[in-house]
Amino acid sequence: MIELRHVRWTYEGGDSAVLDGLDLRIRRGETVVVCGPSGSGKSSALRLMNGLAPHFHDGVLEGEIRVDGAPITDLAQVGRVTGTVLQQPRRQFFTDAVDTELAFALENFGTPPPRIRERVARVVGEFGLAGLGGRLRELSGGQQQRVACAAAVTHGPPVLLLDEPTSNLSPQAIADLTAILGHLRDRGTTLVIAEHRLHYLRDLADRIVVLQNGRVRREWTRDEFPGLTDEMLRAEGLRSLHTPVRPRSLRTYAHGPSVEPGEPPAAPGVGPGEDPERDAVATATGPHRPAGGLTLRGVRCTFLGRPVLDIAEAHLPRGAVTAVTGANGAGKTTLARILAGLQRHAGQVLLDGRPLSRSQRQREAVIVMQDVERQLFTDSLTAELRLGALPERAEQAAAVLADLDLDAFGDRHPLSLSGGQQQRLVVATARLSGRRIVVFDEPSSGVDRRHLRSMTAAMRGVAQEGAVVVLISHDADLLDLAADLELRLRTVP
């Protein structure tokens, strides 16, 4: 079905090949997971399979690529037999509404309108999109990801290519996607999934292919999965095949319609006075919370008259990493935008007891967005770090790049990096910013197991300097490593 033979691919302006001697054959109806460290060539391999490279991404291609028996020279034909889900769904939308986006490919292929309506209605039901009417820009990142997955299969392609499809999804949304992928697999669809999170694919994958330095390092078959230990996966820089368990974090002080009710869980095995550091964090969960940090009072936000966030009061302390969790659409990114001064709202945001206006927050806060490519402005990694760094921290740029395993790319253009490398770069800029409020919004998309730890170290470094650090994430592996406190949000009743 898909065949790559002796493929070598170098992006225009790149100083080395991203794929170097890649040989990979995927049979019709097979489900193949492509994994490996950030920068190993996973996304580039998918771009060659759907023709985006070299037709849209310029570069030098050597070797042979065939999809459904035909070379990728005819982009229109490749588009008929493949559907693609990108890491960042905003980059693949062509319209501004859910229904028109689902119909877009079918309209391009000249499908009769009655057939389009029938097919769109079926996909809306399969993907649970009935309640997501309206504009795409009004949806959360996770909701946009679900729409992107649905749009990729509406025209019924025999091949579906997915690049980090769970990067913005809640655990429930991942379970829903897993069921849909299982349904597509049972219908004979060929699935190629580039992914760091392997746990939801354990019962779906026929093969796991590990890339390193642009070529296949090793493969595992379905029969070999039960014998893969966590140590073997760690040696390859891969995450566990077991479903991660959300850690039991202490709840931060908060209440209101958007706050999920529940008592803060006790710290197992640790009582008051037995661990001074844990006691200091735990004080933030009770009425005698410390004054230092951010306080939200009566914060409410609406879109088109519909409430999306309503917090009566919440405290986000200095010196700790507070995780904000909740289902897709619960208002997590809206909260991030409010904290950074990017979103209008009712109520007050106070820092150390003093009200901060939106303009003041814009000066005091820095945010690492879900789509970090929109935050890259210069022509090298070193220049990018120096752009947002405090003058007295500019000389630390090289050390921060080394801490995040980016020191070999100091002179590279940021847009030439992989998605995970770009993510770590923007985390590095936040590390050097010296801002008193630092928000990380889903920072682990495209990040492998090894670099989760370096990213956690960067977050903790910011917190230790006295900043308010807010981590918005569905990633249980990252939450387990980084979170001190948790604020759980729910959809406004």
pLDDT digits (tens, 9 = 90+) for 312-355: 999 999 999 999 999 888 999 999 999 999 999 999 999 999 99
Give alpha helix (H) positions in 166-289: 171-186, 230-235, 276-282
Residue 437 has pLDDT above 50, yes or no: yes
Give alpha helix (H) positions in 32-170: 42-49, 52-55, 75-81, 98-108, 113-126, 141-153
In a domain, 240, yes or no: no
Mean pLDDT, rounded, for 62-91:
89
| Structure tokens that stand for 271 in this block | 């009582």
Shared domain check, 213 and 294 = no
Mean pLDDT, rounded, for 110-130:
92
Number of structural domains in the chain:
2
Are residues 243 and 199 in contact, defined by beta-carbon separation less than 8 angstroms?
yes
Q: Which of 443, 482, 445 is nearest to 463 (CA)?
A: 482
Residue 269 has pLDDT above 60, yes or no: no
Beta bridge mates, 316: 294
Structure confidence at residue 94 (pLDDT): 92
Beta bridge mates, 70: 67
Q: What does the buried/exposed string (b/e) look like for 207-219 if buried means 16 or more CB atoms within 10 Å of the residue's CB?
A: bbbbbebbbbeee
Shared domain check, 220 and 162 = yes
Shared domain check, 364 and 277 = yes
In a domain, 379, yes or no: yes
Shared domain check, 212 and 65 = yes
Residue 384, Cβ neighbours under 10 Å: how many? 24
Mean pLDDT, rounded, for 242-266:
77
Mean pLDDT, rounded, for 247-259:
87
Structure confidence at residue 248 (pLDDT): 67
In a domain, 444, yes or no: yes
Shared domain check, 221 and 313 = no
Structure confidence at residue 246 (pLDDT): 67
Tell me how many degrees the CA angle 400-390-369 measures, rounded to the nearest 5: 65
Three-class secondary structure of residue 360 per DSSP: helix
- Average model confidence (pLDDT) for the chain? 88
Q: Which of 187, 286, 233 is nearest to 33 (CA)?
A: 233
Shared domain check, 155 and 39 = yes
Mean pLDDT, rounded, for 224-233:
90
pLDDT band with cut points at 50, 70 and 90 for residue 462? very high
Q: What are phi and psi of 97, to 5 degrees?
A: -140, 155
d(CA 103, CA 154): 7
d(CA 458, CA 455): 5
Beta bridge mates, 310: 300
In a domain, 70, yes or no: yes
Shared domain check, 410 and 357 = yes
The order of strands in the sheet holding 190-194 is 82-85, 159-163, 190-194, 31-35, 207-212, 215-221
CA 314 to chain centre: 26
Structure confidence at residue 14 (pLDDT): 78
Shared domain check, 257 and 115 = no
Higher-confidence residue: 334 or 167?
334
Beta bridge mates, 486: 251, 323
Higher-confidence residue: 109 or 274?
109
In a domain, 241, yes or no: no
In a domain, 286, yes or no: yes
DSSP classification of residue 157: -
Residue 277 has pLDDT above 90, yes or no: no
Three-class secondary structure of residue 468 per DSSP: strand
Are residues 483 and 321 in contact, defined by beta-carbon separation less than 8 angstroms?
yes
Mean pLDDT, rounded, for 206-214:
95
Q: Indicate whether this model's pTM tops 0.75.
A: yes
Cis peptide leading into residue 158 (ω within 30°): no
Domain extent for 330: 250-488
Shared domain check, 307 and 409 = yes
Residue 98, Cβ neighbours under 10 Å: how many? 26
d(CA 457, CA 460): 5
Three-class secondary structure of residue 411 per DSSP: coil
Mean pLDDT, rounded, for 369-383:
89
pLDDT band with cut points at 50, 70 and 90 for residue 493? confident
| Structure tokens that stand for 289 in this block | 């919370």
- Residue 401's identity, in one-letter code, is L
pLDDT band with cut points at 50, 70 and 90 for residue 176? confident
Residue 278 has pLDDT above 50, yes or no: no
| Structure tokens that stand for 316 in this block | 């986000």
Shared domain check, 219 and 102 = yes
In a domain, 244, yes or no: no
User: Quick one: what percent of the chain has pLDDT higher than 90?
Assistant: 58
CATH code of the domain covering residue 271 = 3.40.50.300
Q: Which of 186, 209, 235 is the last residue of a domain?
A: 235
pLDDT band with cut points at 50, 70 and 90 for residue 439? very high
CA 209 to chain centre: 21
In a domain, 161, yes or no: yes
Structure confidence at residue 247 (pLDDT): 63
Structure confidence at residue 284 (pLDDT): 37
What is the tens place of the pLDDT at every residue in 31-61? Answer: 999 999 888 999 999 999 999 999 989 999 9
Mean pLDDT, rounded, for 210-239:
91
- Residue 317's identity, in one-letter code, is P
Mean pLDDT, rounded, for 399-428:
89
Structure confidence at residue 137 (pLDDT): 84
Shared domain check, 75 and 32 = yes
Structure confidence at residue 172 (pLDDT): 85
Q: Which of 187, 206, 235 is the last residue of a domain?
A: 235
Q: Which of 183, 209, 235 is the last residue of a domain?
A: 235
Residue 273 has pLDDT above 70, yes or no: no
User: Quick one: what percent of the chain has pLDDT higher than 70?
Assistant: 93
Shared domain check, 230 and 266 = no
- Residue 279: partners with Cβ closer than 8 Å, 6 or more residues away: 272, 273
Residue 279 has pLDDT above 70, yes or no: no
